[in-house]
Structure 1
Amino acid sequence: MPAVLAHAFAPHSHDSATKTDAALESSRHGLRALVISFAALMATAALQAVIVARSGSVALLGDTLHNLADALTALPLGVAFWLGRRAATRRFTYGYGRAEDLAGIVIVALIAASAALAGYQAVKRLIDPAEVRLLGLVAAAGVVGFAGNELVARYRIRVGRRIGSAALVADGLHARTDGLTSLAVVLSAAGAALGLPLADPIIGLLITIAICLVLKDAARQICHRLMDAVDPALVETAERILAGVPGVENVGAVRLRWIGHALRAEVEIAVRHDATLLQAHAVAVAAEHRLIHELPHLRAATVHADPDGPPGADHHAILSAHR
């Protein structure tokens, strides 16, 4: 009987082979998206670099550096996706999914470095103006940069949302911002063509500011992940799912956390105090099952069942000093 009682009211786990396969498949999709987008952005940056060397445009240089930094963000993310596919161990009992958060720190550092270098070159050109050559090619490079980044952005965002990777979605939004800065290069070429020599370094400074805005948003998102923040709407959804499970009398604490691009949940529910052990166990399993299958990107859930009543009973009295 003690063993049955412990099993009925202990946390329940739903780690199935299907969920493991789904996690591995999502990592494979993420890696494929990174490889393809890395190749596209490197090709874009290489073409722009050739034109920078011939034209001397610092606005285009800033955009090229930004595109290069965006391409390089695929490397730490790729390592993180690869690590995330490894099985949990006795030391890393939750697996290696948090490697994505560490990759996010590297991404923020790369964005900051590209902003610093672009800003330095723009200020240097303001102090020592120089003629921008091959304006037609500069403008064409800006258009190529916009097209390459927008294609990469759409691909990364689509895959990131499908597999639940906030890091990949953020990287896609970063690429979309890069595309807009590429269009600014076209404006710098137009200004130079109109006889405004300072248009190029001024646009370069504006691109630097745009990079800094992306840096701020990326740093905030990574900080939220490191602090285990989740969208409150996810918590509300989980509470609504649990409340709809037959036999759940009340929903207690609901805790969610992202581990890489997968969610884990720890929840408390109350069942009738006069329910049999088997009935209470069935309610807990049903709640766990509903959560995993109805809450997007949830890979595992732990459900703790408490008896709801009788009035005045304190089923956690022995733990009161620890809470």
Structure 2
Amino acid sequence: MVSVAHELKTAPRIGMLGGGFMARTHSHAARLAGAELAVIATSELAGSERAAAELGYETPTTGADFAGHLLDVVHICTPNATHAEQCLEALNAGAHIICEKPLATDSASARAILDAALSKGLTGTVPFVYRYHPMVREARERIRRGQAGRILTVDAGYLQDWLLGAEDDNWRVDAGSGGPSRAFADIGSHLVDLIEFVLGERIVALSATMRTVHPRRGGATVTTEDTVAMTVELDGGGIGSVLVSQLAPGRKNGLVLEVAGTEESMRFAQEAPEELWIGRRSGSQLILRDPETLSDDAARLCILPAGHAQGYQDAFNAFIADSYAVFAGHEREGVPMLADGVRAALITEAVLRSAAQRSWVEVEPL
């Protein structure tokens, strides 16, 4: 078992829990960051062996007991309901954690992970990776500098279509594996994290409604939501609307954030990440990603010259590199930490509570 007081290398020795799409995304980013891909575990040894061969890990295994492997970091890319237990096991083995959202399927478990990390002198991050698009950082910096003025409204949406039909099924649909919320916990959490990150303001109250359009999938009853709509109040006095759906035909990963202030508006669309639209009463402009003209924080994330498109994997690569740097004791701007994972769980619970009560609710503070 590694000591929690050990000095972490910037390029750590890592373990991976899971072998699906997100494990591949994490592994690619980890390799680029110089990590030693030591151990990978899935639910069955045969799956672990395949994943190890495909992704380049030294040792395939099963389960989440990584004690004795002397790991610096454990990446957790497994079904949601397993996150809390696996995070605690990794922390008990002396490793920092990078846990896919949701950090846990309830806020009490998420807080327990944060408390355990603090007690052991460890920490962790949660992949709210849309923070890592350079044009998101540019929008954030313009708001910080006061260029937007006072924030008046937010109009945000996250639309997908991969669960459009009743025949479409996935483990996330099952509350036992995915938790009590599906659409909001899965993609809505990204959206509200982005709202709060860009604006520098908190959602303090909300009124939500949700629908389960397909009551049965894969021969089983569905208790998780397909769509969510809500109105939010911000602590700075602004108001906003948020729409989340996994049943929007033609929308593959349509995350959009538009903010209106007293001086200017800004709009970022994840499917066009090289652009930031700026609107003013006297006219508007489209800012393109160019490290020569962007703020320092945005330019830091520009790994390619202007005109050479960056996208989702580039954002993920930057997130993983920043996570490793933070674990090694370095400072990095805007890294989504365990506390941000707790925050997402608190907002998700407020959404579920509001929808059940059909009323406005306050979001529990962190």
Give the TM-score band, short-chain normalised: under 0.3
Higher share in strand: 2
| Structure of larger gyration radius | 1
When normalised by structure 1's length, the TM-score is 0.24
Higher share in helix: 1
When normalised by structure 2's length, the TM-score is 0.22
